[in-house]
Structure 1
């Protein structure tokens, strides 16, 4: 990990130099902002200065701080902001120096360079996540706190393996005498000996959870004890499944206060999202009209049964509606369901099984590419569903909902959502509910756009589709 900033710097330098060279070629080839001057003459002098200044602004913007790599949008924001500052400084500098820098070169250099730098960082992040999932580049983590808090944090870190945290043990209050927590995390000592346990275990990250320390003075002393060790101290409050956009930390008189904005379920029902749904669904209906015709013909010719399958689902605020799908099963599929429930040991949640014997031949390819769900675009157009949202549940599921799970009904259900891009049918019931609740509480239009883009990858990869 300590070589990551240097590697990122080298890659960024290659991209910046490449963008400058491509801008020279593009200016000559495409004649962007044409002028009689030869771009090669002034770029030979300004080019190296632009590269040096651009990289310097990225360094000053903190684009190579170790803490920004791997997660969140901070890394990409620093790349973008640093590049925009570099562009502004080049423009202003040439204006005051009366330097005849080609406008076409200037425009192309930053128009090519900024997206390329961001794409490079995303590629580094993807490679880092893959390495961590395979067990490489991991941090050794010690969690200090009450057993319940330790297990809660360990569960999150175990679920999000791409973060690169491997829990090696726990430190609990002195009155806890068990050798491990309920989740099986080994207890290596008590809260009075955190420093010595950290050094003995070889941990390079310490999570301080609830119940670990009795006062702020103990926290300050712990920071002093670890001052000269290569150990990162992380305070983990009892807050989970809250997006960074809802969290603001404001130090007041030396006391860091965490402000958490209210959940955004109401925002997900406003006119902006609805307008996006109407325009998007109408456009997709027109674009996919040939697929509608092809699928309808194959279904009808296969067994002469109905083309569409209507199933009652529960929408926003508990309102029921007929959810439309292309029929992918035999006509008497519902009558065969009880026998399959008994065979599979079904208890609750949406019933799905691999190699379902009720699926027809045309239904297999429709399901594999999720084309069976295309008619739901009409549900979106009618206002019963949204392009992005929680999965539309069955009335039987809703009848068994606990209080927390019922929050899924605060917004319109979606054709796609976090459940779709995170594994679909491969997810457990509890994990699907957690993702839906996260979406409801942390909705944003940018998140919707991100989910839509990821949906194409999930659909074409056929992951979890059966």
Structure 2
């Protein structure tokens, strides 16, 4: 397995110890407590202990996540632990003062995690610190898995070779070792001996098995025995894609392993919270941003002839059409010119995008880059046609060409922002856009919406992919 940089663990540990210990020591000193230093040490050790118990320092975990919610969860656990210690010690300190003293550890840990994650991502783009995988399965399954792993860089796994099961060509171009027969061999250990040999020959760290008609049940069980006896790990790919691990549960029935896939969240308290957040934020946004809206409206009106607002029919949840509002960024009559520019389309799939669209006005370019043209969509959110977060609202002409897979994007309300916006916007291919939207539809949660909205601010400031 590719070794991660050695500074990850000490940097994370020192940040956690100092981030909690130093502020608490300073707070207790300011409160003239005689045990300020021991109190700071306890706080630092408690924060590091919470991280340790949550496996944040494990080799497989460190550097893999930059998410805010896991750190926030750990921080709430720390508050509980220190509250119990505070009560047991019989100390009387202001709760707000304690909370302020513990905020730096939350912020510093988040910053450290993000820095480590960015460094690790950069290292992996150079094919370092990766986990080398030997794929075992039927030729078509080997192609599918290796191509899927190669298409993404947000994971540590790199396929270095394959052991096909049965005959048939492998089109992915991966290194091919010896083949397993299509039927189970007479010698029970033959499969394992061959796979273990290929793991060592190709320098793989683990075997990734894709079960199929030729490799399942008792044969897969015996292969796992042989790999584990040889000190190697076995991963099994069930064939599911874009399913959050939060929706997966393991179980058993009569000794048979089961994998439960929880359905997407469509009912309950979370959708109610989403609706309340959408409408309250939209109303507040319209009130607070009223001066900005007026300035933008004046700029659009002065810069070119035509209406300030552009109203266009889009397709919403369950295929229902609605009128979406935006500030006008193109000249009047731009829709009629679209057919003449078809050959200039720079986007694959049914969407039309041009990096230098001649129909866009000078002010329109600026509005699109800053996403200010989308602010009137707060009215759509307030009306319930759209959500703050969701898939991109498509045109009727785009939906007319949707496949059944792409139609699933319409299972939820379209959004002002979404995974597509924080991941590259117009720079994304059509397949990438669909993949992100489907991942959102199937794995949605209220907390994921909050995370997307927080990351949207950076995407807007960056301006990448906005044209």
Q: TM-score range by the shorter chain?
A: 0.7 to 0.9
Residue equivalent to 1:156: 148
Taking the TM superposition and a 5 Å limit, the aligned residue runs for 1:226-375 are: 226-229=228-231, 231-251=232-252, 255-265=256-266, 270-344=271-345, 348-375=349-376
Cα pair distance change 1:106/1:251, threshold 3 Å: farther
Q: 1:396 deviation in Å?
A: 0.9
- Is 126-135 or 277-286 further displaced after alignment? 126-135
* 2:44 is equivalent to residue 44 of structure 1: no
Residues 110-143 of structure 1: per-residue CA shift (max 9 Å, x gap): 3332443244223322321232234332222221
Aligned equivalents of 1:348, 1:81: Cα separation in 2: 40
Cα pair distance change 1:382/1:58, threshold 3 Å: closer
SS in 2 for 1:286: helix
Q: 1:203 deviation in Å?
A: 0.9
Give TM-score, length-normalised by structure 2: 0.86
Cα pair distance change 1:420/1:50, threshold 3 Å: closer
- Is 105-114 or 439-448 further displaced after alignment? 105-114
Cα contact 1:312–1:321 (8 A) shared by 2:
yes
Q: 1:209 deviation in Å?
A: 1.1
Taking the TM superposition and a 5 Å limit, the aligned residue runs for 1:50-449 are: 50-52=43-45, 54-71=47-64, 77=70, 88=80, 91-93=83-85, 95-96=87-88, 107-176=99-168, 178=169, 181-191=170-180, 192=191, 193-211=194-212, 213-216=215-218, 218-229=220-231, 231-251=232-252, 255-265=256-266, 270-344=271-345, 348-449=349-450
Cα contact 1:68–1:75 (8 A) shared by 2:
no
Cα pair distance change 1:91/1:447, threshold 3 Å: closer
Residues 16-49 of structure 1: per-residue CA shift (max 9 Å, x gap): 22432223334555xxxx5xxx23x312344435
SS in 1 for 2:404: coil
Aligned equivalents of 1:444, 1:250: Cα separation in 2: 23
- Is 450-459 or 263-272 further displaced after alignment? 263-272
Aligned equivalents of 1:14, 1:450: Cα separation in 2: 23
Cα pair distance change 1:379/1:268, threshold 3 Å: farther
Aligned equivalents of 2:266, 2:75: Cα separation in 1: 35
Give TM-score, length-normalised by structure 1: 0.86
Aligned equivalents of 2:84, 2:454: Cα separation in 1: 37
Q: 1:269 deviation in Å?
A: 9.6
Q: 1:215 deviation in Å?
A: 3.1
SS in 1 for 2:366: helix
Cα pair distance change 1:341/1:237, threshold 3 Å: same
Gaps of 5+ in 1: none
SS in 2 for 1:435: helix
Aligned equivalents of 1:195, 1:71: Cα separation in 2: 28
Cα contact 1:370–1:459 (8 A) shared by 2:
yes
- Count, aligned residues: 452
Residues 244-290 of structure 1: per-residue CA shift (max 9 Å, x gap): 22111235565432111123355699433222111111111122222
Cα pair distance change 1:454/1:83, threshold 3 Å: closer
Cα pair distance change 1:251/1:152, threshold 3 Å: same
Residue equivalent to 2:456: 455
Cα pair distance change 1:52/1:101, threshold 3 Å: farther
Cα pair distance change 1:301/1:218, threshold 3 Å: closer
Cα pair distance change 1:206/1:69, threshold 3 Å: farther
Aligned equivalents of 1:6, 1:299: Cα separation in 2: 52
Q: 1:341 deviation in Å?
A: 0.5
Cα contact 1:269–1:411 (8 A) shared by 2:
no
RMSD of aligned Cα (Å): 3.0
Aligned equivalents of 2:272, 2:100: Cα separation in 1: 37
